[in-house]
Chains A and B, each alone.
Chain A
Amino acid sequence: MSPIIEPGPEGGFAIGKIDQLLNLARKNSLWYLLFGTACCAIELMQTGGPRTDADRLGMVFRATPRQSDVLILAGTITYKMSSRIRMLYEQMAEPKYVIAMGSCANTGGLFQESYSVVSGGDLFLPVDVYIPGCPPRPEALLEGLMLIQQKLEREPWLKKAWSGTPNQSDPWLKPRG
């Protein structure tokens, strides 16, 4: 349900859920990690570039995972790199989202048969959105980010944050040791 807006003589009221307000703020300020391994990284750069400007939607790139909300797996993932990506993912603060961009991050893509390529980012990370393409157009990446925004809007974040428990249903978040 959308907020009820009551204009009045000295301003007015808007009545809605706190979650709506929180999610409105969160979805218009999705910061993504400047991370890309291969060709899709160039299209990621072009998405942040002048023509398809991701900045107008509030999405800026951050160099450090501690300050980012979205990890975009742009490019082929190799076994040597997978442990580093896992480390990057674990450094990100909740709430965090993962986008698998391009065929290589979806399923291994062109390099599925190769001995050193992981057949998809979701074998070691929980992926929220898969964007097909080789490489996907900047418009496709933007659509993927907007799907994350739509997913965000539906989240009961206040309840989760209040109760203080991390996402228990996440199967990849196993305790260490």
Chain B
Amino acid sequence: MIEPTDNNPQRSELVLNMGPHHPSTHGVLRFVVYTDGEIMRRAQPDIGYLHRGIEKIAENKTYPGYMPFTDRINYLEAMFCNQAYAIAIEKILGITPPERAEFLRVIACELNRIASHQVTLGCIAMDLGAFTPFVYLLREREKINDMMEALCGNRLTHNYMRIGGVSADLDDTWLGNLEGFLDHFELILEEFTSLIVYNEILVKRLADVAVICAADAVGYGLVGPNLRASGVNWDCRRDLGYSVYPQLEFDVPLGRGERGTVGDCFERFVVRVEEMKQSCRILRQCLRKLPDGEIQAKVPKMIKAPKAEVYSCVEGARGELGVYVVADGTTKPYRVKWRTGSFSAMSIVEAISRGLMIADLVAVIATLDVIAPETDR
């Protein structure tokens, strides 16, 4: 639909529809782009194409029975969703999982973080035209899928955690496989870095594009790597200290503005590469520190949570993943609300897209790491 804004044919606004089926929207997201040809005036996001009503479903399921649904809130980082929900219910019931279970949770979560970033970074490269890094990272992701399948039976949407612990234990063979994977993956990360991370075309397409300053990032509620790339030094694992993260040593990568400005797309890209390296470091420490013991605490068969409310959050691959549970004394939750990083990241797209080119919109969506199920729940 071309609307001439005045009689001058050179100045007219074009309304383009991008999505919901489009190869570079990550899942089913739609943008209505108001452009004058190439430079956008506005990119209005339209979400809800994957709204499955997971929050309403919680009101009809028992507390343990809701765990598989939490996987599907963000299938790429299913373990974090599981953990956030498990921590919330454990806080209400006053249960502490045994230490071995906590370490197993951290191992599963950090592996999931690596797997999620592999897809994200692969998709960023693919959206900008480089197909090879995506396929390389998918190949590595298959190894993580194999390990998780040996652990809990499913390649994706693992449903590994339970209220009070985890569902399955691992043995020395699995730990040996993990160590072999880490040795191999750190070499692959170096290869990936030399292949694409500082590639001139990628840097030119991502540096200085869509700069989000720290105040905007906090005001719009950005979390995770998006927030850290804008210079805000916050990581729930280090600063809130849940689970066994206080016992582990790791760095939190921040945006430094090495090729552009702090808060541009390139920083969001590089922060995720660094996070994968730190996850490998955490996994190696867990391998050494894993204690013996039980994998699940004593939990009543029929969980009847007392009247309470809790908000618990974990640091997922896309930032702070929080869940607000209202319990009313019965076996089913009264209200469950999920706070996801992609929802906030989508809300900032309209504000930062002014003046960008359409091709930059693709870079922005890819580097903000927006995926549809987290946005729509």
Q: Does B298 contact A (CB under 8 A)?
A: no
Q: Beyond A80-B49, A135-B157, is A114–B56 a contact (Cβ under 8 Å)?
A: yes
Q: Which of A103-128 contact B (CB under 8 A)?
A: 110-111, 113-117
Q: Beyond A80-B48, A114-B57, A116-B51, is A34–B135 a contact (Cβ under 8 Å)?
A: no
Q: Beyond A78-B49, A81-B49, is A38–B139 a contact (Cβ under 8 Å)?
A: no
- State how many angstroms separate the Cβ of A140 from the closest Cβ of chain B: 11
Q: Which of B22, B27, B135, B142 contacts A38 (CB 8 A)?
A: B27
Q: Which residues of B contact A176 (CB under 8 A)?
A: none
Q: Which of A38, A46, A63, A137 contacts B23 (CB 8 A)?
A: A63
Q: Which of A84, A114, A117 contacts B21 (CB 8 A)?
A: A84
Q: Which of A34, A39, A50, A110 contacts B142 (CB 8 A)?
A: A50
Contact stretch, chosen from B68-76, B252-260, B301-309, B327-335: B68-76
In the complex the two chains form, is A38's CB within 8 Å of B72's CB? Answer: yes
Q: Which of B173-200 contact A (CB under 8 A)?
A: none
Q: Which residues of B contact A135 (CB under 8 A)?
A: 155-157
Name which residue of chain A comes closest to B376, CB basis. Answer: A78
- State how many angstroms separate the Cβ of B31 from the closest Cβ of chain A: 14
CA distance A42 to B127 in the complex (A): 16
Q: Does B16 contact A (CB under 8 A)?
A: no
In the complex the two chains form, is B20's CB within 8 Å of A81's CB? Answer: yes
Q: Beyond A37-B50, A78-B51, A110-B72, is A46–B141 a contact (Cβ under 8 Å)?
A: yes
List residues of A whose CB falls within 8 A of some B CB.
34-39, 41-43, 45-46, 49-51, 63, 75-76, 78, 80-81, 84, 88, 110-111, 113-117, 134-135, 137
List residues of B whose CB falls within 8 A of some A CB.
20-23, 27-28, 48-54, 56-57, 60, 68-69, 72, 75-76, 119, 135, 138-139, 141-142, 145, 155-157, 372-373
